[in-house]
Amino acid sequence: MPDIPLKFTREEYAQRLDKTRRAMEAKGVDLLIVTDPSNMNWLTGYDGWSFYVHQCVVVPPDGEPIFFGRAMDAVGARFTAYIAEASIIGYPDDYVQNTAKHPMDLLSSILKDKGWGARRIGVEMDNYWFTARAFAALQAGLPDARFSDTTALVNWQRAVKSPTELDYMRKAGAIVTEMHRRIVEVIEPGMRKNDLVAEIYDAGIRGTEEFGGDYPAIVPLLPSGREAAAAHLTWDDKPLRAGEGTFFEIAGCHNRYHCPLSRTVFLGKPPKVFIEGEKAVLEGMEAGLEAARAGNTCEQFAGAFFDVLKKYGIVKDGRTGYGIGVSYPPDWGERTMSLRPGDRTVMQPGMTFHFMTGLWSEEMGLEITESLVITEGAPELLANVPRQLFVKD
């Protein structure tokens, strides 16, 4: 096939592979089986909606990575991944959802044929896409291998973004800016929530005149009124009501890179709990952003925000942010760093976070958040939406 257009240069993919192999060596691993689709994309460029069946990227002791997936998805690898045809392996369709055999049976056989059957093999034990049956099949098929848990090994290599990755995230930030602008423009009492979500998707996928948007890893979250006490509800076809607040937790996405951003809209005159909550969140956010600098820890970043909340008598027992970047459903987080007490990861320039300053109580939910890039000085904000509680009659 002719050379395909890639989202990153081959040199950047080579740097990622080298970085991963150094991490494998430090972990005592010869061969890595990567099943997280975000990691598969980061390592090879593969991009397809195929993570509902078993697939992986194998990082061998030498040479380029190997894509292993359903035969019809191997075609997609040829169009999106930088690797050569010989490194793309498709398995027959009778392995799909077959109780009698498993794709990892075939992968085990392939690895043995390549002389890797007795290697030290790392697998991502704790992620959404690697099942207990998949691991059992690998263990049965590779009895001489020594397996170890390499969950998040590749995720951590993604923490500091390249200039191209940051460019994609800035574009995602421009898209989520447009999504929030559309919400404030069209929302009104009586509007069905599903119609509002259609507007959100329209803005998110249309993007800007210069670039379009992708599907985000999480659907829009927008509970209203007392239901906003629940952080992760989606939508129904009921009309929005005056006298209620609705938070919107959404993300712009470009080339699979995400910029999450939340804002809250109150239809009518907001009560005291919203006004006081907004004041505490905005003051706390300023303190957190001041601490969001290279050399500080995630714990220090979070602590600056939590200290302000304590001054207002507010207790937030969850984390207040996490790393972001390239992702697929069901989560746009990188599953590495968390902004919370105890996480002493030292922040470096190029790390990217969603500063998730949401507050939830029994009677309401309030979200005003920012996504940002760590620099040597003040953090760079990826989106440009007024930081406030929006009020609309």
Has residue 153 got a pLDDT over 80?
yes
User: Of 124, 191, 157, 174, whose CA–CA distance to 323 is shortest?
Assistant: 157
> CA 134 to CA 380: how far, in whole Å?
41
The DSSP code for 35 is -
Has residue 254 got a pLDDT over 50?
yes
Mean pLDDT of all residues belonging to the chain: 97
Six-digit token pair at 298? 């995630």
Q: Contacts from 308-312 at CB under 8 Å and sequence distance 24+?
A: 308/280, 308/283, 308/284, 309/280, 309/284, 312/276, 312/279, 312/280
> CA 346 to CA 338: how far, in whole Å?
11
Distances (CA, A) of 325 to 38, 189, 248, 380: 9, 35, 20, 15
Which amino acid would we find at residue 262?
S
Quick: pLDDT tens for 308-327. 999 999 988 889 999 999 99
Q: Is residue 94 classed as helix, strand or coil in its secondary structure? A: helix
Distances (CA, A) of 268 to 134, 180, 370: 53, 18, 25
Domain with CATH 3.40.350.10 in the chain: 10-157
Report the residue count for the chain: 393
Mean pLDDT along residues 36-53: 98
Cis peptide before 386 (omega within 30 of 0): no
Six-digit token pair at 101? 């055999």
**How high is the pLDDT of residue 3?**
79
Q: Is residue 384 classed as helix, strand or coil in its secondary structure? A: coil
Quick: pLDDT tens for 6-23. 999 999 999 999 999 999
**How high is the pLDDT of residue 1?**
47
The DSSP code for 225 is G
Mean pLDDT along residues 344-373: 97
**How high is the pLDDT of residue 171?**
99
Has residue 373 got a pLDDT over 70?
yes
**Helix or strand run (H / E) with residue 56:** strand 56-59
Contact partners, residue 141, CB within 8 Å, separation at least 6 = 104, 105, 107, 108, 109, 112
- Which residues make beta-bridge pairs with 355? 321, 370
Q: How does strand 31-34 pair with strand 56-59? A: antiparallel
Contact yes or no for 237/193 (Cβ under 8 A): yes
Measured in whole angstroms, the distance separating CA 241 from the mean position of its chain's CA atoms is 32
Mean pLDDT along residues 87-112: 98
Domain with CATH 3.90.230.10 in the chain: 163-392
Quick: pLDDT tens for 187-196. 999 999 999 9
Q: Give the CATH architecture of domain 10-157.
A: 3-Layer(aba) Sandwich (3.40)
**How high is the pLDDT of residue 190?**
98
pTM for the whole thing? Answer: 0.97
pLDDT band (50, 70, 90) for residue 2: low
Overall CATH class of domain 163-392: alpha beta
Q: Cα-flanking dihedrals φ and ψ of residue 355, to 5°?
A: -85, 95
